[in-house]
Amino acid sequence: MVIKIRINKAGATFPVEVIFLLKCFQIQDILYTFWYFKILMNMLLFLAWLLFVKQVIFFSILKMLTMKMLTTSVITCLALSLSLLSCSKDDDNNNDLNAQDRTFMMQASMGNSAEVAAGALASTKGDSVGIRSFGQMMVTDHSTAQTDLKTLGTNVNVGVKDSVDAAHITLGQTLQGLSGRAFDSTYIVNQINDHQTTISAFQTEISSGGRTEVINYANKYLPKIQMHLQMADSIATAMGFK
């Protein structure tokens, strides 16, 4: 006996077994759909997790590289700073005003003052035109050198005075009492000796001085002093004083 059930208005009927099978297939389709959906969701979650892990690894590597670069930069900056500090310290040490600088400035100051004083006498008391001209040149050149030396003294905090040593005071007194050829001879021979001594002092400063400005002063005026010596020697030779 077959049981038939009406399932639509048109009067069509199907066996109960068929209806049961149809419902089973519908449930199975639903289960398969749910299972596929679950697999898809798991795959999406897995992909999302992979992306997250990838980002974490990327930012971790980026952070490590950044820290390494920062550390390298800091070390480089520190090394450079220490190097510059060391160089600055060395420069300061190499630019200290030492005893030689002070001695030289005192010698140069007294030398300039002595040349100006003796030159002033020679420019008026000299018997020959050559002696008078040379004396005037000494006044001009050594006045300029003394002015520069005073400026230098202010810059390096060393007093520069227009003073003459005892030996040149005595020489000045001697020259005051002379005239004619005797004056010319005494003056020009002493000029040769004085300029030889001055050249030696300037060369010592250039080789042993500590302060750059003082050494530069010596370098600037040494050629002029050497020229003075050559001129004095030529005058003395021409006048028969040698």
Q: What is the pLDDT of residue 4?
A: 45
Residue 163 DSSP SS3: coil
Q: Tokens 């002595």 appear where?
A: 114
Same domain? For 109 and 187 the reply is yes
Same domain, 163 and 210: yes
Q: Residue 77: its pLDDT value, please? A: 58
Say what the pLDDT of residue 79 is.
64
| CATH number of 183's domain | 1.20.1260.10
For residues 54 and 33, membership in a common domain is answered with yes
Q: Which of 122, 100, 54, 120 has its CA nearest to residue 202?
A: 100
Q: Is residue 140 domain-shared with residue 218, that is, in the same domain?
A: yes
Asked whether residue 210 falls in the same domain as residue 147, the answer is yes
Whether the model pTM is above 0.75: no
Domain end among 75, 94, 113: 94
Give me the number of domains the chain comprises.
2
Q: Which residues pair with 177 in a beta bridge?
A: none
DSSP string, 208-233: H---HHHHHHHHHHHHHHHHHHHHHH
pLDDT profile of the chain (242 residues), mean per 10: 47 56 58 67 74 70 69 66 54 72 97 97 97 98 98 95 95 96 97 97 97 97 98 97 90
**Predicted confidence (pLDDT) per residue in 40-69, tens digit:** 777 777 777 777 766 677 667 766 766 666
DSSP category for residue 157? T
Phi, psi of 162 (to 5 degrees): -85, 70
| Shared domain check, 162 and 52 | no
- In 10 A of CB 165, how many CB atoms? 14
Say whether both 147 and 45 belong to one domain.
Answer: no
Please give the pLDDT value at position 31: 58
User: In terms of domains, do 121 and 229 share one?
Assistant: yes
Verify that 90 and 107 share a domain, yes or no.
no
What's the token pair of residue 202?
A: 């300037």
104 and 17 in a common domain: no
Domain, as residue range, for 193: 97-238
- Residue after which a domain boundary falls, among 58, 77, 94: 94
122 in the same domain as 80: no
CA distance readout (Å), 225 to 74, 89, 102, 217: 54, 35, 20, 12
Q: Tell which of 51, 79, 94 closes a domain.
A: 94
**pLDDT at residue 128, rounded to an integer:** 97
| pLDDT of res. 68 | 66
Could you tell me if 203 and 176 lie in one domain?
A: yes
